[in-house]
Amino acid sequence: MPTHQTTPSEHKTYAVEVESVSHYYGKTQALKDVSLKIERGVTVGLIGPDGVGKSTLMSLIAGVKVLQSGAVTVLGNQVDKRREREANAYRVAFMPQGLGKNLYPTLSIKENIEFHANLYGLSRREREQKIARLLKATSLDPFPDRPAGKLSGGMKQKLSLCCALINDPELLILDEPTTGVDPLSRRQFWDLVAELRAEFEGMTVIVSTAYIEEAEQFEYLVAMNAGEILAADATPKVLEDTASKTLEEAYVKLLPERDHYFDFDNIPPFEPLPDEPPAIKAVNLTKKFGSFTAVDNVSFEIPRGEIFGFLGSNGCGKSTTMKMLTGLLEPTSGTAELLGQPTDAGDIQTRLKVGYMSQSFSLYEELTVRANLELHAKLYQLEGKAGAEAVEEALTKFKIKEYQDEFPSALSLGLKQRLQLAAACLHKPEVLILDEPTSGVDPEARDMFWDYLISLSREDRITIFVSTHFMNEAGWCDRISFMHQGKVLAQDTPEKLVAAQNASNLEEAFIAYLEQAEASKDGKQTTESKQDNNTVKSAFKDSDTNQQSRKRRSKTLNNILAFAARENKELLRDPVRLLFVLLGPVILVVFSSLGITFDVRNIGYAVYDQDQSQISHELIAEFSSSPYFKERAILHSDEDYEAIIKSGKIRLVIEIPPDFGRQLLMQQRPELSFYVDGSMPFSGENVKGYIIGIMTSYAQNLAQQRGLVPEASAQLQTRFVYNQAFNSIISITPGMMMMAMMLIPAMMTALGVVREREIGSIMNLYGSPATVMQFLIGKQIPYIFMSMLSFYVLLLISIYALHVPISGSFSALFFGAFCAAWVATSLGLLVSCFATSQVAAIFGSAIICMIPSLNFSGLLTPVSSLEGANLLVSQLFPSAWFHKIIIGAFAKGLSWPDFFKYYLILTAFAISYLLLANIFLKKQEK
């Protein structure tokens, strides 16, 4: 590709200019010095299997990934400059890889589009007009209220396209938009894209696809392999230069020189043996998950040695059927037989004759290639020499011997699939069940894979049951079965299925069967969803909303409210999260307030009275009349007290020696023994204090009664300024409310960024004109309001159920709770910027909030008694400051002027956390 210096006039000619771009993921190089120019107003197809760098290149062009080296200019703006990249947000639309990756499953079709429209600041009138027109153009208008999570793969991709087109982009980037979509929906999708492009004549469209045959419809072609561009030219010229009839053939020829080419045009025909029982048999096989029917009345027979293909889109029931055939899943009804035996997960002998290869990599990442095969050999009872020979044979036959000491994580996708197949074939099974074994594998590896499958079938007569998305692979099967929405539409040889529909190829035949199925379901003949040019023009052309909307700049408030409204809808439709936000604090406060107490009352004690005098009885009466003690037992020997205190039934033993009363009257200072259970130091220290108090009072009363000391002229009484009844619940309830307000909102908002990153919807932030701060504030607003609602419920419970009244200002306390919720949600967002998973976010925020709130906020230990690092932690965490507000309002009768300082401190914490989150959450992927 040319890499000369680009002049300003050339910037106007090219929509995209990529110069010497390289990109690394750790030590893995995804792009190697890539240079590329794409003219404005053309369609470009990027082809290549998974892992060659297509998505990385498209993400760099869209500006959602950080540019590491080189230069990328899009629509005249350089993507490594923030202001120019943000200007492109109004002109570039990016649809990320994955079915509905930029959608929100709980939001309806209309709500998903509304969210994107709000991000671009469309007025209500503009928004409603565009949504209505987009839905009509994509044939989604009958289902505006259907949740995105309940759409088929094709409908999800159409909805994603609607979201991308809401702002009339000049550059449309589609990253593998039809992967996993059935052929009919794929064709409808591409027809729709063509119609939209016909309307917007200047729109440039860049599409990556794993289905290489799809790229034939694009004007220009970019073929990639191993991070490098193999060819970039007009599609007809690429076919001409490589002397190829199809793009797949051309792509294979563009790859580095191969040792061997596979001839799939002359596959030896399959010849079943007469009177031989079938290897696999399914009769009326049905599987339901609740009200959803995943597999519906499926029946077929597969003779030994046949290659039987299973075709269908994602979610049509292929994997479920395979799991029932292997005994991994129990059918709801119907029967399945494997090698003449009913499928049973516990039938070890039958399972030893079956090899199963799952859709995703299912071997052990922490074991080397050889170790994985050795483990597999032991699992299938291949021990000693037999196992070693089987491993060596598999390593050689599947050409992975040179990788035997590598870990699977270091292997390419094709090598991983080769390793999985080697493990599945290691024990020489009679039946191989392969669930989409070549998904994402490069064509050369796929050809090698199928060449081996054919040899297994023809030479070893191994029965192969394989599911696939690729039509050319289906053509290599002896028989195939078309499956859609849990039903088998047809099954026969590829040639007969094509002939039955008078189709030109297998894909056309599958589409015809799908159309018939849809027609019978709807009660009418469905046709391909096409709309005349005038309809499309009226659907998208509006003088008030087209070019002007591109120049519009979203307002800050609009963006914040867009994120807030969307987050609020998601929260209200997720019963688990909603109940946790609302009832989590209630449960925590109620049970903690009733279960945690510092009041040590009704302490069980036993008495060993060896004196039995009036004075000893008076002493015992002092203890029994105290609210702190309750007599549980009377002892009669020295041995009894040790046994009873060990049992835990009593915490105190009082031992009164003989002649105690007489010696006391004679002022001889007799000894009195108290045995306290010190296994719990806190309660033991309280018991000790109660004993000293009772004995002091008893001694004074006894001395006065005997006339040994004059009656005091003044009495000293202890009174508490606050909480005069000295009840723990008055302190515990506000303290646990503080804990709940810091813990629960932080935990829930900590899920925010991580959850979006995991499901992929964070791309909506990366590609939108919204800022990170607007995104963060919008996400926390619903949680602040939910936290305030929960706090109001807590106040009602504390006042009317727990009988802990507010003695200070209600409004001042409520505003303090708002500040606390603001701080907690800001802290949660900050944590989520660092967490790599939702589990890590939950536990990380819980630990960060719980330890300081419990130990350093004044809940258990007064802040005034803290020193050194403990005091520093207390001052640098917001819970201690909110604790001052909530205790002051509940117990001390304080109001607004008393809390003003604390409001400012909490506000400073909230702003600081938000600013830090804004810094650490980047608006681009690395």
Pairing label, strands 204-209, 220-225: unpaired
| Three-state secondary structure call for residue 529 | coil
CA atoms within 13 A on the CB side of 256: 5
Pairing label, strands 479-484, 307-311: parallel
The predicted-structure confidence for 591-622, as pLDDT tens digits, reads as follows: 888 877 766 778 889 999 999 998 889 899 99
Q: Using an 8 Å Cβ cutoff, are 474 and 506 in contact?
A: yes
| Band of residue 113 on the pLDDT scale cut at 50, 70, 90 | very high
The predicted-structure confidence for 426-440, as pLDDT tens digits, reads as follows: 888 888 888 878 766
- The candidate with the shortest Cα–Cα distance to 925, out of 363, 97, 303, is 97
The predicted-structure confidence for 12-41, as pLDDT tens digits, reads as follows: 589 999 999 999 988 878 899 999 999 998
Distance CA 888, CA 180 (A): 60
Q: Using an 8 Å Cβ cutoff, are 232 and 57 in contact?
A: no
Q: Which element (helix H / strand E) includes 231?
A: strand 228-234
- E-assigned strands of 167-217? 171-175, 204-209
Q: Which element (helix H / strand E) includes 617?
A: helix 614-624
Mean pLDDT of 667-671: 84
Residue recorded with tokens 């002493």: 619
Residue recorded with tokens 């170790």: 371
Q: Using an 8 Å Cβ cutoff, are 732 and 839 in contact?
A: no
- Average model confidence (pLDDT) for the chain? 84
Backbone angles phi, psi at 786, to 5 degrees: -65, -40
Assigned token pair, 666: 């004679």
Mean pLDDT of 280-306: 89
Q: Using an 8 Å Cβ cutoff, are 606 and 635 in contact?
A: yes
Distance CA 374, CA 390 (A): 9
Q: Is the alpha carbon torsion for 552, 555, 559, 562 positive or negative?
A: negative
Strand partners, 221: 45, 233
Chain centroid offset of residue 236 CA? 43
Mean pLDDT of 237-244: 89
Q: Using an 8 Å Cβ cutoff, are 338 and 432 in contact?
A: no
**Length of the chain measured in residues:** 926
Chain centroid offset of residue 790 CA? 26
CA distances from 363 to 358, 370, 371, 376 (A): 10, 12, 10, 9
- The per-residue pLDDT for 593 is 82
Assigned token pair, 501: 């529909």
Topology of domain 8-91+169-254 in CATH is Rossmann fold (3.40.50)
- The per-residue pLDDT for 539 is 45
CATH code reported for the domain at 603-705: 3.40.1710.10
DSSP 413: H
- The per-residue pLDDT for 909 is 97
Q: Which element (helix H / strand E) includes 687?
A: helix 681-705
- The per-residue pLDDT for 552 is 46
Mean pLDDT of 857-874: 87
Distance CA 166, CA 117 (A): 6
- The per-residue pLDDT for 294 is 87
Pairing label, strands 463-468, 431-435: parallel
Which are the contacts of 442, defined by CB distance < 8 A and separation ≥ 6? 48, 49, 52, 225, 255, 413, 414
Q: Which element (helix H / strand E) includes 638?
A: helix 638-646
Mean pLDDT of 718-723: 65
- The per-residue pLDDT for 269 is 87
CATH architecture entry for 280-353+429-522: 3-Layer(aba) Sandwich (3.40)
Asked whether the predicted pLDDT for residue 391 surpasses 90, the reply is yes
Asked whether the predicted pLDDT for residue 6 surpasses 60, the reply is no
Radius of gyration of the chain (CA): 38
Mean pLDDT of 896-906: 96
Asked whether the predicted pLDDT for residue 724 surpasses 70, the reply is no
CA atoms within 13 A on the CB side of 679: 8
Percent of the chain with pLDDT over 90: 34
Asked whether the predicted pLDDT for residue 848 surpasses 70, the reply is yes
Assigned token pair, 771: 């800022």
The predicted-structure confidence for 514-554, as pLDDT tens digits, reads as follows: 888 877 665 543 343 444 444 444 444 443 444 444 444 44
Asked whether the predicted pLDDT for residue 67 surpasses 90, the reply is yes
Mean pLDDT of 374-397: 89
DSSP 272: P
879-887 and 810-834 helices cross at what angle (nearest 10)? 160
The residue ranges of every structural domain in the chain are: 8-91+169-254, 101-168, 280-353+429-522, 557-593+726-920, 603-705
Strand partners, 47: 209, 223
Strand partners, 653: 606, 675
Asked whether the predicted pLDDT for residue 832 surpasses 90, the reply is yes
Distance CA 85, CA 92 (A): 10
Biggest distance spanned by C-alpha atoms of the chain: 126
| Band of residue 392 on the pLDDT scale cut at 50, 70, 90 | very high
| Distance between first and last Cα of the chain | 26
Q: pTM for the whole thing?
A: 0.77
Assigned token pair, 56: 């990385």
Same fold, 8-91+169-254 and 603-705: no
- The per-residue pLDDT for 263 is 65
Determine how many CB atoms are found less than 10 A away from the CB of residue 275.
5
